Structure 1
Amino acid sequence: MSESVTWLLLAYRIPSEPSRLRATVWRRLKALGAIYVQNSVAALPEDSAAERALRALRAEIGQLGGTAQLLRADALVGGADLVSSYNAARDEEYTEIASRCRDFLAEIDKETAEQHFTYSELEENDEDLTKLRSWFDKVTARDRLGASGRDTTAKALEDCTAALNVFADAVYAADTDGA
């Protein structure tokens, strides 16, 4: 991705106490996928959804007793650094999902080794995979600058789906054998 990304910058001040106010703003920015350029200055690649979300957060900051300015900016220099930071944040999220996929596969292997082929176990694993897919969908929605971890994580989710399908077949076979 080139350095020609236009950024939205949210510069804000909020009271230092109670600390939950700062945590609230930080969580909202993290959920949006924003990166911090400096303390209390967060950046997102410009698009209409990001602008709406940051305008809403700016209003919320005002309601919390703080102040905020929302700016549109083009990097004169250092744009590649911003893109790199933004992609690194997405790659950290992808890495965490891939790690959870390894945990998921280990759980399937454990249940298979113990021949614990029950519908309740299948349902639990299906719910876990649904959560992983949902998380992946949220990260890919934020991944507007092409982070490198997307394809590897998508493959890990495919592996989880395949493993769950094999496990489901074993559950169905156990049900048929027991009938």
Structure 2
Amino acid sequence: MAEWLTHVLIAYGLFTVCGWYVDWLDERWVAVGVVGSILPDLNRLDLVISDDLVTALLGVPFSWDGLHTIGGVTLLSAIGALLFATARQRRRAFVVLFVGGLSHLVVDLPQAYADGAMLTNLYLFPLTTWRPPTPGWYVSADRWVALVALAFALAVFLADRYRTRANRVARPAS
């Protein structure tokens, strides 16, 4: 659970800061980006519906692990974008969902893994099987990572509220 919270908080902070510079990236689109940040972890559906069960139902080999890749994020972002009404909203939704998903994958890269290598071979499948060594900065169960993400999100939240208040004072109502 701390891992999902970390991804959500980091995405909130990143999208909020980007919203300061991109006019259309308001709170609604920040929320869409936050949803995008958990898309790669939909591979955890295997805890509810096993790969073997889906393989038996479909009659072809199946694995949920493909969702935790750039290709999986692309596919899920495209599916999610279809939920929006206009072509402009669908394009924006795809980009925001995709960037949210990429933020998740990037945050996962420096984790410590038992074999000491990054998951780049999974992220970039089928382009490469190369796995550089990981810096091993943290494991997904480390609580300090969630605390750092919380501090970052809180700082952005406060800065955003200060900016909003300063903008209201600078632009008096007409």
TM-score bracket relative to the smaller structure: under 0.3
Q: TM-score, normalised by structure 2?
A: 0.27
Per the normalisation by structure 1, the TM-score is 0.26
Larger CA Rg, structure 1 vs 2:
1
Instruction: Please state which structure has a larger fraction of its residues in strand.
Output: 1
